[in-house]
Amino acid sequence: MTTVFSAQRQTETEAREKAHSAYRLLRPFLIYVTSFTACGQLSRYIRPGYTIIGTNKTGTTLAAYDKAGKKVVVVATGGTIAMKYDPEKDGLVPACTGEDLAAAVPELANVAPLEFIQFSNIASPAMTPQNMWNLHIKLEEILARDDVAGAIVTHGTDTLEETSYFLDLLHNGPKPIVTTAAMRGAGDTSPDGPMNILSAVRTAASSQAVGLGVMVCLNETLHAPAEVTKTHSAYPATFQSPWWGPSGYVDSDRVVIRRKPLNVVRFAPKTLNARVDLIKCMTGSTRDYIDFAVSQGCQGIVIEGFGRGNVPPGMIPGIEDAV
Ligand code: ASP
């Protein structure tokens, strides 16, 4: 009996060990499926329009913004991205509309339905604070529509960071605004505009970008407007975010955000009515430019000082009188 019993016990032990090793083998899969299902159920109660669809390759939880059929609106303002070489003028001239730009990127059709608005067609040194304000109003109107997931702005590189920062200071909604540009004209050899537009549209259509304000997208890299700057007058990877680095990047089929800007201050002014001048310090600066700015009726002056905001002694009397 004992023998029979121990033999039986041995069979039971072997069966238990087999079952346990099978469980150890299947456990990761079971955990994934369970969490996947739980997330799926849970997401119904988290936020309407968002569905957690598990994790992607990099382990970042994707929250697919319910953008079924929602559009990305391309707002074109001009810049090299939309320029072609004119032999008569021997230079680049505004030549392409938003539609022309998209026609050079067939893949866009697989990303999101598009709509085009030709806001302006100017080289970006001609951008003014008033233009930027009007662009802000236009973008907020567009993003308020239910059929819109996000918007991109094509722009010149020279003042891209200024316009992007201006828009970011005033963009209080969750939908993405992605600004982009190009270092090579539409008619140049291997223009960078098409890939920049594709990456910008991918980002504007992505749930990863929801709630991040405005992002600057060139060279498949994403930057926060308050941190990015143009570092070279010709190099395609000219936009860099010194010190903190980019916010993320656009891979062939996905948007990867690695950092979210913190301490972003935003405003909601009703109008743009104050003239504020910028005076850059140079060695030997005096009060002259400050007095001139005040004489022109500006309501504020930003002085770009040295180091931690030091200014040449000759400026101080002008600053004291101006305030
Ligand atoms: N060269 C500039 C550009 O890259 C011209 C501009 O900013 O409009 O777009």
Per-residue pLDDT tens digits for 218-234? 999 999 999 999 999 99
pTM of the model: 0.78
Q: Catalytic residue numbers?
A: 80
Q: Which of 23-37, 88-102, 167-181 has the lowest mean pLDDT?
A: 23-37
pLDDT at 310 over 80: yes
Average pLDDT, the chain: 84
Q: Going by CA atoms, what residue is nearest to atom 7 of ligand 1?
A: 156
Distance 233 CA to ligand 1 centre (A): 9
Beta bridge partners of 107: none
Q: Going by CA atoms, what residue is nearest to atom 1 of ligand 1?
A: 80
Per-residue pLDDT tens digits for 128-185? 999 999 999 999 999 999 999 999 999 999 999 999 999 999 999 999 999 999 999 8
pLDDT at 243 over 60: yes
Distance 270 CA to ligand 1 centre (A): 30
Q: How many CB atoms lie within 10 A of CB 28?
A: 9
Taking the C-alpha atoms of residue 150 and residue 60, their distance in angstroms, rounded to an integer, is 21
pLDDT at position 23, please?
62
pLDDT at position 42, please?
41
266 contact partners, CB below 8 Å, separation of at least 6: 168, 169, 170, 171, 172, 213
Q: Would residue 261 be called left, alpha or beta, if left means φ above 0 and alpha means ψ between -120 and 50 degrees?
A: beta
pLDDT at position 46, please?
34
Taking the C-alpha atoms of residue 72 and residue 142, their distance in angstroms, rounded to an integer, is 10
Ligand 1 atom having least distance to the Cα of 160: 7
Q: Which two tokens stand for residue 169?
A: 């200071």
Query: 157, 184, 197: which to mutate for ligand 1, most atoms within 8 A of CB?
Result: 157
